[in-house]
A and B are shown apart, each in its own frame.
Chain A
Amino acid sequence: GQNIDQPTEMTATEGAIVQINCTYQTSGFNGLFWYQQHAGEAPTFLSYNVLDGLEEKGRFSSFLSRSKGYSYLLLKELQMKDSASYLCAVRDSNYQLIWGAGTKLIIKP
Chain B
Amino acid sequence: ETGVTQTPRHLVMGMTNKKSLKCEQHLGHNAMYWYKQSAKKPLELMFVYNFKEQTENNSVPSRFSPECPNSSHLFLHLHTLQPEDSALYLCASSQDFSGGADTQYFGPGTRLTVL
- A1-34 CB contacts (< 8 Å) to partner B: 4, 8, 30-31, 33
How many A-B residue pairs have C-beta atoms within 8 angstroms? Tell me.
49
Q: Are B109 and A97 in contact (CB under 8 A)?
A: no
Chain B residues whose CB sits within 8 angstroms of the CB of A98 once the complex forms: 42
Contact with B along A72-104 (1 / 0, CB 8 A): 000000000000000101010001111111100
Contacts A8-B40, A48-B101; A96 near B106 (Cβ below 8 A): no
Tell me the count of chain B residues lying within 8 A, CB to CB, of chain A. Answer: 21
Give Cα distance in the complex from A28 to B104, angstroms.
19
Query: What are 26 A-to-B residue pairs whose CB atoms are below 8 Å?
Result: A4-B42, A30-B100, A31-B100, A31-B101, A33-B103, A40-B108, A41-B108, A42-B4, A43-B43, A43-B106, A44-B2, A44-B106, A45-B103, A45-B104, A48-B103, A50-B101, A87-B43, A89-B43, A95-B99, A96-B45, A97-B45, A98-B42, A100-B42, A101-B41, A101-B42, A102-B40
Which A residues lie at the B interface, using CB under 8 A? 4, 8, 30-31, 33, 35, 40-45, 48, 50, 87, 89, 91, 95-102
